[in-house]
Chains A and B, each alone.
Chain A
Amino acid sequence: MPVCSIHCGRNAVLKRPKTGDALCKECFFEAFESEIHFTITRAKLFKPNSTVAIAASGGKDSTVLAYVMKMLNEKYNYKLKLFLLSIDEGITGYRDDSLNTVKQNRDDYEMPLKILSYKDLYGWTMDEIVAEIGRKNNCTFCGVFRRQALDRGAHLLKVDCLATGHNADDIAETVLMNILRGDVARLNRCTSIVTDNGDGIPRVKPLKYTYEKEIVMYAYFKKLVYFSTECVFAPNAYRGHARMLLKDMEKIDPSVIMKIIQSGETLKVKSTAKLPTLMNCTRCGYISSQETCKACVLLEGLNKGLPKLGIGKSSKVKKALDDIQQNDSLCCSARGNSNVNNIKDLKDKKCLCLGSQNVLSVQIDEISLEKLTVE
């Protein structure tokens, strides 16, 4: 059994992928936590006395993030008010179980928790969406909707900042994926540690330089309970291929993960490259590269019985949307009255076809920070 590289005299329990050091449990905890603290302070992620929502899925990353944030907040006196924010996509056998883990986090870490559901926000659960579009493009819907759901949730909670559990492997994976897709615009911004979606609430990634292996080892040694069932819809996701490629390369040399992130960070898109200009969605006001944001397009497709609408090229989408606009009598009634609210209603505060009742606006008004309590 090798001894700890720090020369503390204890036996090593882990080989760090980032450095190759063999560390004992105590020295590993110390290194793990202080590196995250260093990441936070160097990038000035949080201002004192601000409120921070931690995006919590019940998985390993957000569980470790919540634990470490609470610990560092106390240890280094960040003076942050921490909240948990969860999105319920409505995936039977996945999210309903993982939300129980989030509730456990709420109790263990004594943080208020707010759960927002796709059904509340969009009128559709993921189960219903999959029933409509099949399993090929469902992760597109889920990802796009979740991104906005977290933004909306952060907005509703009136927090100053939203922290997500993206780890180093996730970021490297995204860099690879954007290269494979030729998505230069996303490649350009996907490594940023702070991003802003135009609503003034920054999204930050405190675990950006933390390896997945260390997160899992940390959770294991700290005996943190997290939820680990694969999403029942995930096996067909494109991301899985990028992930396997990355994991295979990591086996040969673990430092590739940091090197890919570094490449993404230092990469500069040449000035002649055609990049989409960012604007606000004409329907919901969220930041978008198109006139109508992806979430609104996908939702429009679902509500009009054209679920493939948002999957193809944006030029085709625009044409299809114009066609729909001209034929607006189809709205909602195409699917009965079960899915009356779309994103457009958010702004107009009324549904185009029903005119008055809006499920969403009522629910939004009910949510405020004061009402969040630790049960």
Chain B
Amino acid sequence: MCYVSLRNVNIKNISNFAFQTGYFLISMADLKIALEFGGGAEVLVGNQKVHEVAFPSKNKVWTIGDLLYWIKDNILKERPELFLQDGSVRPGILVLVNDADWELMDTVNYELKSNDRIVFISTLHGG
């Protein structure tokens, strides 16, 4: 019951709630994802390279597209336009799913599985 009502709340609230209450995290959030930011992209998320996150996955399929908006709403610290553009990452940011190019996996439509590791590498800087 609790879960169903929560599903209608926006993603940000769920995750905030999940972060605030360890109980919720353990019982409902069974989709564990490791996020990594590199190549300069870490600047956008408060210079923290690795983020361990968890989502409630019951009755809900999470795609990378959903994940991008979750990142924007929850861990992006500055200038979201440098990360997100037209529902995908800004061109010039590379995405790897378990160390493989996301372009091989239907990019934003890839469905997240538990223990996936998603890496974002920016190429947008000088040399």
Contacts and interface: CB of A to CB of B under 8 A. Distances in A.
Interface of A: 1-2, 11-15, 22, 57, 59-62, 165, 212-213, 216-217, 220-221, 228-231, 234, 243-244, 247-248, 250-251
Contacts of A57: 126-127
A31 to B, nearest CB: 14
7 contacts: A1-B104, A11-B100, A12-B101, A14-B101, A213-B123, A220-B96, A234-B126
B13 to A, nearest CB: 32
A60 B91 contact: no
A84 B70 CA distance: 43
Contact of A251 (B40, B91, B105, B127): B91
A247 B88 CA distance: 13
Contact of B123 (A14, A22, A212, A231): A212
Interface of B: 38-40, 43, 90-92, 94, 96, 99-101, 103-105, 119, 121-127
Contact of A220 (B90, B103, B121, B127): B121
Contact of B39 (A221, A228, A247, A251): A228
A338 to B, nearest CB: 28
Nearest to A59: B127
Contacts, number: 71
Contact of B126 (A59, A247, A248): A59
Contacts of A60: 39, 123, 127
Given A1-B105, A234-B126, A243-B92, 14 more contacts: A12-B104, A14-B101, A15-B103, A15-B104, A59-B125, A59-B127, A217-B101, A220-B96, A229-B43, A230-B40, A230-B125, A231-B125, A247-B90, A247-B124
A228 B40 contact: yes
A13 B96 CA distance: 9
Contacts of B43: 229-230
A1 B121 contact: no
A100 B44 CA distance: 23
Top 4 closest pairs, chain A to chain B, by CB: A59-B127, A247-B91, A15-B103, A228-B40
Contacts of B91: 244, 247-248, 250-251
Contact of A230 (B90, B104, B121, B126): B126
Contacts of A12: 100-101, 104
Contacts of B90: 247
A14 B102 CA distance: 8
B94 A217 contact: yes
A234 B82 CA distance: 14
B127 A229 contact: no
Contacts of B38: 220, 228
Nearest to A251: B91
A11 B99 CA distance: 11
A62 to B, nearest CB: 6
B92 to A, nearest CB: 5
Contacts of B124: 230, 243, 247
A2 B104 contact: yes
A213 B94 contact: yes
Contacts of B101: 12-15, 217
A22 B102 CA distance: 11
Contacts of B126: 57, 59, 230-231, 234
A3 to B, nearest CB: 10
A348 B40 CA distance: 44
Contacts of B96: 220
B73 to A, nearest CB: 24
Nearest to A248: B91
Contact of B92 (A11, A217, A247): A247
Contact of B121 (A14, A216, A247): A216
A122 B64 CA distance: 50
A230 B92 CA distance: 14
Given A230-B40, A230-B43, A216 B94 contact: yes
Nearest to B105: A1
A61 B127 contact: yes
A228 B99 contact: no
Contacts of A59: 125-127
Contacts of B103: 15
Nearest to B101: A14
B38 to A, nearest CB: 7
